[in-house]
Amino acid sequence: MIYHSLECPYRRDIGVLTWQKKITSLEKDRQDLQLTIDSLQEEKKLLQTKLRKTSGNGKFTDVKNNPSNRKDVSTSTEDLRSRRKALNPEKKLR
């Protein structure tokens, strides 16, 4: 008896096994990613606790949005003179 590729029961079984392996692999990857997410969230909590403790008053300080920590680096030239002088001490600065 001759089977076409779609009618062959062995080929169908191989296809099912292939998909089962792929699904198993994807499920393992999903579990690994979930563990990574959980670990990162726990680390975030620990770092936030440390930040609260170091701020002194126990309140969370958002360092990204604190205006006293910001400096407009696009127009800042304060350090260029001293850096140029350190690199080329024999040249006169204008």
Q: Is 53 a member of any domain? A: yes
Q: What region, left, alpha or beta, does residue 93 occupy, with left being phi > 0 and alpha being psi -120 to 50 degrees?
A: beta
pLDDT tens, residue by residue, 18-33: 999 999 999 999 999 9
Q: Is 81 a member of any domain? A: no
* pTM for this prediction: 0.45
Q: Which domain holds residue 3?
A: 1-62
Which structure tokens are listed for 74?
């696009």
What is the rounded CA–CA span in Å between residue 94 and residue 85? 11
Q: What is the mean pLDDT of residues 14-19?
A: 90
What is the rounded CA–CA span in Å between residue 12 and residue 3? 12
pLDDT tens, residue by residue, 52-91: 998 876 555 565 666 555 555 566 666 666 666 666 666 5
